[in-house]
Amino acid sequence: MIEIPITPPLTLFSEDEKLFYDMVCDFAKEKIKPIVRKMDDESCIDPSIIPQLFELGLMGIEIPEKHGGSETNFFMSILAIEALSSVDPSIAVVVDVQNTLVNNAFLQWGSEELKDKYFSQLASEKIGAYALSEAGSGSDAFALATKAEDKGDHYELNGRKMWTTNGNEAEIFIIFANLNPDAGYKGITAFVVEKEFEGFSVGKKEDKLGIRASSTCELLLDNCKVPKENVLGEIGKGYKVAMETLNEGRIGIGAQMVGLAQGVFDYGLQYTKEREQFGKPISSFQGLQFQLAQAATELEAARLMVYNAARLKEAGKTFIKEAAMAKLFSSQLAQKIASLMVEVLGGYGFTREYPVEKFYRDSKIGTIYEGTSNMQLQTIAKELLKD
């Protein structure tokens, strides 16, 4: 098996950010890389990995120090996701959902009581999940059928959620339900649900093409009792919580796809230097050199798009269009580069013995979750055509 260094980002960032990125890369290479294939085969995260993610502070990157978090910034989350994805996108998406969706939702919409109650848990030991999609509401997210009912001293949720990342490992869930169906999407409300709440259970775990170690599950709500204080944000403002959080989440998916593309590119590039045909390394053939040069150029462009969207978010600027562009382009590019490297390795690339096959399978999800490519195009066009 080829041993290669993980290529760090070529763009400039602060010394602290560089040190953090290198630290996560080293962790990924030393602790995750040796068991990537095993986790993929078993469709399960090795139990030793999750505690280490918490110990490194990767599960509470923006959570305030007073709650046990690292209290850094959104860009650090993006760097962590990118670095992990260069070795295993399955582990990266666990960190991604925790930081860009769950923790970010609490940061922006959580009451002080909810932050006090849940941040220390999310920073130290408990995984979070974000449940919006249903069998009949994917791209049309606000067609959700899960209902909430005010029972006086608590809310009661009934319905079924689908495609919930981290569903098997999570203990804290942000679940969207409609408290006033007559009001349409303006009845949608976000609730914080604990795994142990009465009436809540985790259903089927999906058997997926890629990112197999990451669990994707259905959630079952059967008269699930939720305390009144566990409304996240305002009643009837769940649609706003969902959209604003997903805009940030798309930058995380962009980082995941950039990291994946970098990981498979690095492997394939090293292979071209060692594989000989017609008496010389295949990297000496101009036809292949041009393909590598094109891929490297587009990869750097994707990285810059992701970083730009993240910096805009941090600066409090509008970033909806930039996030959609970054997610669209990086997910398409990840598939393109992974496919190229399968071809570069030839027959070897088509076998499970080499990592490019797994990267290729993992890359497909980038064009689907947290908004399909068509939805990103729609968002970009809408932003472009604003008066």
The owner of tokens 């076998």 is 351
Kind and range of the H or E element at 164? strand 154-165
CA dist., res. 37 & res. 48, Å (int)? 15
CA dist., res. 334 & res. 327, Å (int)? 11
CA dist., res. 188 & res. 159, Å (int)? 13
Burial class (CB in 10 A: 0-12, 13-18, 19+), 177: buried
Cα 7 to Cα 25, 39, 41, 189, 238: the distances in Å are 9, 23, 26, 43, 40
The owner of tokens 């006033």 is 180
**SS3 category, 332:** helix
Cα 351 to Cα 78, 272, 276: the distances in Å are 31, 17, 19
The owner of tokens 């890629």 is 210
Contacts 24+ apart (CB under 8 A), 283-292: 288/344, 291/340
CA dist., res. 54 & res. 124, Å (int)? 6
Q: Pick the catalytic residue from 62, 82, 169, 370.
A: 370
314 is catalytic: no
DSSP-derived pairing of the beta strands 200-205 and 216-227: antiparallel
Query: How many other CB atoms sit within 10 Å of the CB of residue 115?
Result: 17
Q: Which residues are the active-site residues?
A: 370
